Chains A and B, each alone.
Chain A
Amino acid sequence: MLCGSSAKRLDDDFGFDPGLTMASASRSSQQTYENFWKEYYARPRSTWENDIQKRIADLMKLPDNWDGYNSPRLREDVVNFAWTVMKQLMHPQAPSPQVVPSSGGGLQLEWHEKDIDLEVNFTETYRCELWVDDHRTGTCVTKMLTNEFPDLENAILLLTTR
């Protein structure tokens, strides 16, 4: 019988691959997984980098009293610090933040998406404040960060992978 003959060949012939066996599927998925990461990291640079740089370039042109409330212009050292931190922490696929000047000085990056409100406000070099509100879990975290940023990194990762 055709049916029996076919079954026998599956058992006996290692090289036989009708394209339906688990071995084939496993090999295929492994290859796809590897290719996925190769392609993942070989993609063109993410848009957030360009978005932030362009926005910061615009914000650096703001004069003193830019908001009509006597806020000072952005400090170059604070902006550079913010940029350095974000370049280290941002995943290539991370969504672009909205970049906002703070009243009273400072630079704030914020995201409001995927049921997360994430804000990081840079006020001095080596000084920024993290605020994360996760609507799904109901957790809200405020933390002052100086030179270690695992909380910010985790928040960005959550935002990227959710």
Chain B
Amino acid sequence: MPSRIDDGTIPNVAWLLRRIHPLQVVMDKNGGHYRPSSAAFKDPELSVDAELVLHSLGFDWRFSIQQHPTHSLVKFMAKAARELQLPVVLDELPDNKSHTLVLGKKTSGKANKLRDSSSWVRCLPPSL
């Protein structure tokens, strides 16, 4: 069981990568563009990949979607999660040393703030 304490291993300026399932890409008619649904940010144990760990291993964001070619990808800074009192904890997996968890209950308000803080790395419009 990995430690669930945010010890700062992931620095505030680290980018966290989160895949977005095609069903969670929605049209924002207010802005005239696609956006990730806040529903993609509501898992109390939100899995992300820490980009700086990927870089240290010689990988980049493509690693995060290599098993999910139809998914989109967003990134947000660890600082954005911590400002919402959501701990950011490195949670290495055997096949993914960059795996990180953003812990804590995400209300719609928090999920939307996380979404607001995120930007597309790769956006694939949903098939209609």
Contacts and interface: CB of A to CB of B under 8 A. Distances in A.
Interface of A: 59, 62, 66-71, 98, 100-104, 106, 108, 110, 112-117, 119, 121, 129-131, 133, 135, 140, 142
B24 A113 contact: no
Interface string B11-30: 00000000101011011111
A135 B46 CA distance: 28
Interface in B85-117: 107-109, 112
Contacts of B21: 66-68, 101
A100 B19 contact: no
B39 A112 contact: no
Interface of B: 19, 21, 23-24, 26-31, 35, 37-47, 67-68, 71, 107-109, 112
A148 B69 CA distance: 42
Contact of B108 (A69, A98, A129): A129
Contact of B67 (A68, A110, A114, A135): A68
Nearest to A67: B21
Contacts of B109: 131, 140, 142
Contacts of A69: 19, 43, 47
B107 A142 contact: yes
A89 B34 CA distance: 27
Given A98-B26, A112-B28, A135-B30, A142 B19 contact: no
Nearest to B108: A131
Contacts, number: 85
Given A100-B24, A104-B42, 17 more contacts: A62-B23, A67-B21, A68-B67, A69-B19, A69-B47, A98-B27, A100-B37, A101-B21, A102-B39, A103-B43, A106-B42, A112-B27, A112-B29, A131-B38, A140-B109, A142-B108, A142-B109
Q: Which of A68, A113, A114 is the most central at the interface, judged by chain B CB atoms within 10 Å of its CB?
A: A68
B68 A68 contact: yes
Contacts of B45: 104
Q: Which of B31, B43, B71 is the most central at the interface, judged by chain A CB atoms within 10 Å of its CB?
A: B43
Contacts of A129: 107-108
B67 A131 contact: no
Contact of B46 (A103, A112, A119): A103
Contacts of B112: 117, 119, 131, 133
Contacts of B24: 67, 100-101, 103
Contacts of A104: 42-45
Contacts of B47: 69-70
A100 B42 CA distance: 12
B30 A117 contact: yes
B101 to A, nearest CB: 11
